[in-house]
Amino acid sequence: MAYLFAVFGESIMAENVITDKVVGESGASNSNAIDQSQIVESQVKKGRKKRSRAWDHFSRKTDSDGNEKGVCNYCKKEYFVDTKEHGTTSMLNHTSKCPKMPYNIDIRQSRLAFQPMIGGNKGDVVVVPWKFDQEECRKALCRMVIIDELPFRFVEKEGFKQLMKVAQPCFHIPSRTTVTCDCFNLFDEEKHKLMVIFKGREQRVSLTTDTWTSIQRINYMVITSHWIDKNWTLHKRIINFCPITSHRGEDLEKSISKCLNEWGLHHIFTVTVDNAGSNSVGITELSKQLTKWGTNLMGGSHLHISCMAHIVNLIVQDGTKEANVSIERVRQAVRYIRQSPARWKKFQEYCEDENLAKKSLCSDVPTRWNSTYMMLKRVIEYEGTLLSSYWEGVKRITKFLDFNLTLKISGSRYVISNLHFLEICQVGVYLNQLISNEDHVLAKMAENMKEKFDKYWGDTEKMNKMVFIPCVLDPRHKFITLGFALRKMFGEKGAAFEIGVRTYMESLFNEYIKPVDSDKNGQFSSTEVDTSDSRSVDSRSGGEFGNFFEELQKHTSEKGGASSKSELVKYLDEEIEVGKSDFDVIALVES
């Protein structure tokens, strides 16, 4: 009250002085006297500021009857504005729906918008209908926060508010607390959709998992699921990211089983892990759990898949020990230059004087051999500025590591299992050639790598046969390519092992057709002849004619009729496809 009096007290006192003066000049006559209260009210009303925001869009008007009205500045619609009876509520309601107001957007009517064309060239757009939806905008905001890993407080930043004010004034920006709740709700919604997919499908899902320890000494595990839907689209989803008690195999199995139970996901095909001993124990225990659930395909004989990228890294790390001095010199030089902005600037200035390319030096990650290759390859471009006495060794190692194996087998957006064994075979053949190389350093490196290579892929009996099956399912290869590759790697043993792969593949195929053969849905077996016509004839003819058609059906099946062949045999009998640079194995299967 003290603040209000300080603001308005002076004007009110001045008005009182004016009122007293008017009353004094009016004389003592009762007929000409002016009611003092009416004068004060009229004077105060006249000097009062228009406080309602409705007057930003309306103007005052007095009609012929003396009624005061507000007129819209855009559509000229009129409203009574007498403060005692009407007020400004009607005008405020009008501002939100005035069709001619430039600040309003009709959120009920669709508008045209331009969006980038999916699968089109850069700059191609498509016209789509659009209308403002507060809830959809909030969901899009949540997805932005999640995808870009933004803090929840981002929505309360002044820059974002200014952007929304210009881009979409109708959008009511939620608080960070609301966005947090929306993100959790979106997670629950997407999780429910994924659980419906997992529970409603008999198709098996493959898993990849990894564990590590943070700098806070907390153990973590991540589990990623991979599957192909009915439209032959490859999917990848992280279904668990959680702390674990330890890296022991039993604890890993408990965490994986708990995750699978939570998602209702029991039909597991393979689990890919690195080559730690605890992982082998964990997968063995998981296989036992799947057997209890009754979903362990072929007794889990192919459940455990070793990570190929991890094995290749171990092989290369062992091989490069012979040249460790040269690599370490390069690594230290790169670190020295990158540690100081002043050193880096001086190095760039020197490169400009020598007319060398201005490319950034990159450090390697010891656990990824291809990063070492990229570091050495980049350093070679600065020959003459670094390590003049070690260039021959660096060039030799770089040439030795010049293959894109890790880039091929580390993809997650396309199918790579059909390339798995062929890439292994290529590495094995390459190492055999290098062992007899005249360069003794390269020969020694190759010998060390071949020793580690044989530990994982040198014995066919120890290899998971699932490594070979995808190669056969690639229509460009089948058993023709597989047999050739096996003989290249293992000689005569490879030819004998090919028979074992064929037998294993037939057993796997029979496991998949069991639900069809069991005739759960009243359908015929996939390996039987469709005898609907013969049954209809039998039902019409009666007598002994039915026996004739049964014997005819049996005779046709025994003599190898075309329809008696399984889908696997038909596939293997077909000619192989001609490979292309942009070959997509999923697209071919779909067609």
Provide DSSP, 523-576: PPPTTS---HHHHHHHHHH-TTHHHHHHHHHHHHHHTT-GGGS-HHHHHHHSPP
Are 203 and 266 contacting, i.e. CB atoms less than 8 angstroms apart? Answer: no
Q: What's residue 143's pLDDT? A: 94
Give the closest residue to 551 by CA, choosing from 566, 534, 526: 534
Mean pLDDT of 114-119: 71
CA angle 319, 322, 326 (to 5 degrees): 115
Q: What's residue 529's pLDDT? A: 38
Copy the structure tokens of residue 114.
């331009």
Confidence of residue 271 (pLDDT cuts 50, 70, 90): very high
Distance CA 206, CA 226 (A): 5
Copy the structure tokens of residue 175.
């608080």
Pick the CATH number of 202-306 from 3.30.310, 1.20.120, 3.40.50, 3.30.420: 3.30.420
Give the closest residue to 238 by CA, choosing from 202, 272, 268, 209: 209
Are 145 and 179 contacting, i.e. CB atoms less than 8 angstroms apart? Answer: yes
Pairing outcome for strands 205-213 and 234-244: unpaired
Quick: pLDDT tens for 74-104.
888 898 887 667 778 888 888 877 877 766 5
Contacts of 361 (CB under 8 A, 6+ apart): 334, 337, 338, 375, 378, 379, 382
Q: What's residue 229's pLDDT? A: 84
pLDDT of 18 > 50? The answer is: no
Q: What's residue 361's pLDDT? A: 78
Q: How many helices (H) and strands (E) does the chain have?
A: 23, 10
Q: What's residue 548's pLDDT? A: 66
Confidence of residue 364 (pLDDT cuts 50, 70, 90): confident
Distance CA 536, CA 97 (A): 71
Q: What's residue 170's pLDDT? A: 83
> What three-state secondary structure class fits 414?
coil
Distances (CA, A) of 399 to 287, 327, 392, 443: 43, 13, 11, 13
Burial of 583 from C-beta contacts in 10 A (0-12 / 13-18 / 19+) = middle
Residues 319-350 as b/e (b if ≥16 CB within 10 A, e otherwise) read bbebbeebbebbbebbeebeeeeeeeeebeee
Give the closest residue to 88 by CA, choosing from 42, 55, 40: 55
CA angle 367, 368, 370 (to 5 degrees): 155
Confidence (pTM) = 0.67
Distances (CA, A) of 566 to 13, 230, 498, 509, 558: 105, 21, 20, 9, 14
pLDDT of 21 > 50? The answer is: no
Confidence of residue 44 (pLDDT cuts 50, 70, 90): very low
> What three-state secondary structure class fits 106?
coil
Q: Which ranges of 381-419 does DSSP label H, i.e. alpha helix? A: 391-400, 405-409
pLDDT of 360 > 60? The answer is: yes
Q: What's residue 530's pLDDT? A: 42
Quick: pLDDT tens for 467-490.
899 899 888 889 999 999 998 888
Are 512 and 567 contacting, i.e. CB atoms less than 8 angstroms apart? Answer: no
Contacts of 45 (CB under 8 A, 6+ apart): none
Q: How many CA atoms within 13 Å lie on the side-chain side of 9? A: 6
Q: Compute the 3-state secondary structure of the chain and give helix, strand, coil in percent, each to the nearest 5.
A: 55, 10, 30
Contacts of 57 (CB under 8 A, 6+ apart): 72, 73, 74, 91, 95, 98, 101
Distance CA 307, CA 483 (A): 23
Task: Tell whether the torsion through CA atoms of 554, 556, 560 and 565 is positive or negative.
Answer: negative
Are 588 and 475 contacting, i.e. CB atoms less than 8 angstroms apart? Answer: yes
Distance CA 189, CA 139 (A): 11
Confidence of residue 522 (pLDDT cuts 50, 70, 90): very low
Confidence of residue 533 (pLDDT cuts 50, 70, 90): very low
pLDDT of 341 > 70? The answer is: yes
Are 498 and 480 contacting, i.e. CB atoms less than 8 angstroms apart? Answer: no
